[in-house]
Structure 1
């Protein structure tokens, strides 16, 4: 019997029910099931007797019906043929039934309670050959109930072991494809009383351990991604390749890699957004919000991105608040209007807008503006966080309304411009308490009006002083100083009066001290620098107008004294005529300042001494070139002999270079021959 003999719908439950047709076929005698064919064990005599009885009955019936036998029944040929044909047919059929091989059992139609062990085993093997879980379980169910002492028990146990392992293999295939629960459920279908039952728990434990390992690795990689550690996540994900499960090695590993790549890209986006937000510019913050909004919900940094959006929005609010603190309400409101709704700051924006709009009206400075601001602030709901601030502003603005009225009246008085009107305006502004909202503004206005009044009162003193000082002699300047000194300290024109007094005082001092400084300069022109310095020191130490000029002259004269001393020493040293003395003399002479008149004598002397050094070097070079080079180096740069000295040094150094040795000449070897060789 082949596999196609077992229909797919055959089940073990159906296999245990007796087939109705089979029961009926077994309940009938064999002879009744084959019409016209004698049962086993019949003979030809019984057949003849039965035929004779039948013929007698027919004759009786015929004689009764017709009264005579038909002629054809009296033919001996007919009876001869019948007697030869009927027994032959019966024999042929009997032999065919005996020689026919028994057909394979039809497993779905077998009544299993009466089926033999070999039939059960055969049908079980056919079912198991399909290698499906249900068919393998049906195969096990067919044979597992057979007695332990059955002769086929060894074969049955071997098949049970094989089929159980096949079920475990099918379950492992489910496990490898990522269906852990299905694999466990399949494995647990193996009957517990089989020898392979102990393998089930071991295999399930192994599967669960492998699966748990894969899940732990996956979760750890996800945690690294949430911390924005993409490199660490890659390293953790690579451990999935060592998990003993194809599903974790392939599908889950690829899935995790895609998540890591996506998370890294999103992390870079978030880092860029944070970098833009660090600049704290409105445009950069808006760009940062857009970047954070572009990160999808399936990203591991989505929560972080969403958390940063309100932070960026509050930074924009802070920038708007700075503008508002500088009383730039229009700019502040414009900034707030750019904050996107995704920041979730709708209520905060509304509160800020209400306060800013009210303050803008209050800053107009008029009573109507303050009243409008109060009305706007009163509309803020008590449940809002800025309600207390609004109430404080309302109280402040209510005080300001009275202060503004006083200030407007004071400004009206001050606009007349007379001293009395300015004083009246100051008195009106004093009605505003210093701790009131407009107190500081009132004090500023009072200071300005007071300065205007003092300027009007003191300006005539300055004008008269300037007129008196026009002659610019000592008496007129002193009179101008006396006139300007009438302006007291703390008055508006006092700083200007002091500047003019200092100017006039300096002019007086210059007029008084100039003759003494001129006298000192006259003494210096005669060459008596020491006396000139002594005369000018009195002016330099006085701290008067010409003290700086006198000190400059003293410094110049002292420089001339030092230059003379250096020039004198240089000439004395040069008299020795040695290279060392000449070099020292040149150095001393070179200390004379270039602006000094002595420089006309110093420069020719330096040229002369330099030439002497060069001559000495040339003389010594005849016996010692190295010594000549050292002396020639003493010739100073800028002197007339410097170029010649450098050229001479180069020539001497060329002479000191060793001449290259001539290469030895190579002569061809002469061949000598002896008389014997010839």
Structure 2
């Protein structure tokens, strides 16, 4: 026990010492100013953050669609109304207006609610205006009509709608005029009218519709150019040009304003191809005509016409032989074109013609058989047979031609002996027999078959007779002219009558000699005038000599005389200058151009003018 107590006494002081030491350290910490400052700052920051959190914490947004409005407050109504109005749609604006409409007049928020309702009503009308400028007239009108009647701006609704409708109507009228101009292929007028949309008070018409028209005008102008070029090619003719023309016209879109004109042009070109095929067929070129038909493209929409033309062309080719069998074969072929076909009427025309021709051919064949003997009586019978073909029948021209040929044969048989006898008389070559031969040939009248041949012989014999009768006279006239006796030569040549073959030659020589005679007389008159030697008389002589024609033999002599007389005038002027410079100038000016004295005279005139101080 003593040991235990001793041991306890030894251990007891240590814990007491540690506790005291700890209390001491804690006291020092609590009394340390830095710790106190740190704790203060931490507490202040925490409180501040907590305050800021409460400050920025928003109240919960009300769920407007879920609110039971009969119990909702006015402020909640206004809040939800503003939220709806901010969406800027007509329905949302109307919903906003409806939410505030229920506030009584004595409510504190009534004035603000009324202001907002007016604002939102104006915004509804503005949305209508926006829709109108966006090209939505019906929507714009519907929006405008939803403006509340209690709003002040409601009074503008009908006026605004009427204005919109008027603008729209004006724009549509311009648009239609442009379309009409394009259909008339007057793109210049279309462009002018389209520009009027720029003055329309509507953004949609000024931009979208104007651009739409501009694009249509550009396309239509290109289509018009295609059609014009196609028509030009078609007018040139030829299968290659016609095919190219159809290709051009077919490139016009079916929505084009000139599509119908393009289709009409294609139809016209197709008809030109038919005409070309028909002309080829008229030259009896069946294969050439069928080749042209085969080239008509499907776009021409003439397939049924092509089929009918093929049948008709082959029928025509069968008729070319001209016999009854050929005509019957052609009739069988043409009957394949049935009623209701495009070329049925044309086929019927050929059918009627060929049916009439069958009888005509038989008449003509009988006439030819009668004419084969060549006897006058058989020829007369053949003419009578051919005359049985009526004048309105297809073979009437052929019948008339045959009758004329047969009549010619009869006339030739009758008149040939007469012309042969005239030939025999003319062959003797003397004046009397030539005259008799011509008289006998003149018995063949213009309507006779040998008339042209008889007239040709008469012309030949007339020239022979002229050589015998009038050639010596014309030779004598030539000799007289060479000797200088122009009057005698003219008189001799004028003795050849107008019926003579040499009459034309004689008259030509008479005219030549008369011009020569006039030239000689004029030159003689000029010499007579120049004899006095005065400047005036010399000038008159020069004028008379100048009238001698350039083709006259006296022209050289006249020019020489003019040159001589010009020199005389110049010498007279120089002499006159000693006493009268002004008079000398007047005298020198009488010298005509293109003479040797003219240049010298001009120099003298200039010198004399300088002396006179002019």
Query: Do the structures match in fold with TM over 0.5?
Result: yes
- Aligned match of 2:253 in 296, 312, 316? 296
Report the counterpart of residue 46 of structure 1 in structure 2. none
Cα pair distance change 1:135/1:284, threshold 3 Å: same
Q: Distance in 1 between matches of 2:454 and 2:169?
A: 94
1:431 aligns with 2:385: yes
* Deviation sequence 1:149-201 (CA, Å, 0-9, x none): 33433333333333444444444444443334444444555555566655655
Report the counterpart of residue 31 of structure 2 in structure 1. none
1:375 Cα offset (Å): 0.8
1:264 aligns with 2:221: yes
* Deviation sequence 1:114-152 (CA, Å, 0-9, x none): 333334334444444454555444444444324333343
- Aligned match of 1:378 in 326, 335, 341? 335
Q: Distance in 2 between matches of 1:606 and 1:124?
A: 124
Q: Distance in 2 between matches of 1:271 and 1:349?
A: 26
1:370 Cα offset (Å): 0.9
Report the counterpart of residue 649 of structure 1 in structure 2. 602
Q: Distance in 2 between matches of 1:484 and 1:290?
A: 67
1:500 Cα offset (Å): 1.7
* Deviation sequence 1:566-618 (CA, Å, 0-9, x none): 45544443332212223333444566678888789767655544443333233
Counterpart secondary structure, 2:114: helix
* Deviation sequence 1:191-219 (CA, Å, 0-9, x none): 55566655655555554444444434433
CA contact (8 A) 1:430 1:442 kept: no
* Deviation sequence 1:219-272 (CA, Å, 0-9, x none): 343334333343343344334334444333332332232223223333333344
Alignment of structure 1 residues 71-110 onto 2, 5 Å: 106-108=62-64, 110=67
Cα pair distance change 1:364/1:133, threshold 3 Å: same
Report the counterpart of residue 617 of structure 1 in structure 2. 573
- Aligned match of 1:230 in 167, 172, 187? 187
1:398 Cα offset (Å): 3.0
CA contact (8 A) 1:320 1:333 kept: yes
Alignment of structure 1 residues 369-448 onto 2, 5 Å: 369-384=326-341, 387=344, 389-408=346-365, 411=368, 419-420=374-375, 424=378, 427-428=381-382, 430-432=384-386, 433-435=388-390, 436-448=393-405
Cα pair distance change 1:333/1:620, threshold 3 Å: farther
CA contact (8 A) 2:470 2:496 kept: no
Q: Distance in 2 between matches of 1:530 and 1:240?
A: 93
Q: Distance in 2 between matches of 1:413 and 1:239?
A: 86
Cα pair distance change 1:581/1:144, threshold 3 Å: closer
1:653 Cα offset (Å): 1.7
* Deviation sequence 1:320-369 (CA, Å, 0-9, x none): 55666777766655555544443444444444444343233223322332
Report the counterpart of residue 535 of structure 2 in structure 1. 579
CA contact (8 A) 1:124 1:138 kept: yes
Cα pair distance change 1:178/1:625, threshold 3 Å: same
CA contact (8 A) 2:591 2:597 kept: no
1:487 Cα offset (Å): 5.8
Q: Distance in 2 between matches of 1:164 and 1:597?
A: 116
Cα pair distance change 1:604/1:386, threshold 3 Å: closer
CA contact (8 A) 1:410 1:424 kept: no
Cα pair distance change 1:543/1:244, threshold 3 Å: closer
- Aligned match of 2:324 in 367, 374, 382? 367
Cα pair distance change 1:608/1:441, threshold 3 Å: same
Alignment of structure 1 residues 223-622 onto 2, 5 Å: 223-276=180-233, 284-318=241-275, 335-384=292-341, 387=344, 389-408=346-365, 411=368, 419-420=374-375, 424=378, 427-428=381-382, 430-432=384-386, 433-435=388-390, 436-452=393-409, 455=412, 459=416, 462=419, 465-466=422-423, 468-478=425-435, 480-481=437-438, 490-513=447-470, 537=494, 539-540=495-496, 543-548=499-504, 551=507, 562=518, 565-566=521-522, 568-588=524-544, 608-622=564-578
Q: Which runs of 5+ in 2 are unaligned?
A: 1-53
1:120 aligns with 2:77: yes
CA contact (8 A) 2:585 2:608 kept: no
Q: Distance in 2 between matches of 1:128 and 1:196?
A: 17
Q: Distance in 2 between matches of 1:445 and 1:524?
A: 59
Report the counterpart of residue 673 of structure 1 in structure 2. none
Cα pair distance change 1:169/1:531, threshold 3 Å: closer
* Deviation sequence 1:266-322 (CA, Å, 0-9, x none): 333334444555556665554444333222133222233334433443455455556
Counterpart secondary structure, 2:107: coil
Cα pair distance change 1:320/1:618, threshold 3 Å: same
Q: Distance in 1 between matches of 2:157 and 2:479?
A: 128
CA contact (8 A) 1:406 1:428 kept: no
Q: Distance in 1 between matches of 2:491 and 2:399?
A: 61
CA contact (8 A) 1:469 1:476 kept: yes
Q: Which runs of 5+ in 1 are unaligned?
A: 1-98, 661-678
Give the helix-richer structure, 1 or 2. Answer: 2
Q: Distance in 1 between matches of 2:89 and 2:523?
A: 125
Alignment of structure 1 residues 32-71 onto 2, 5 Å: none
CA contact (8 A) 2:367 2:385 kept: no
1:374 Cα offset (Å): 0.7
1:658 Cα offset (Å): 6.5
* Deviation sequence 1:522-575 (CA, Å, 0-9, x none): 7777777666665665x2457444555555565566556655654554444333
CA contact (8 A) 2:419 2:441 kept: yes
Cα pair distance change 1:301/1:463, threshold 3 Å: same
CA contact (8 A) 1:406 1:429 kept: no
CA contact (8 A) 1:411 1:425 kept: no
1:619 Cα offset (Å): 1.9
Counterpart secondary structure, 1:657: helix
Q: Distance in 2 between matches of 1:536 and 1:458?
A: 38
Stretch of structure 1 that moved more, 327-336 or 434-443: 327-336
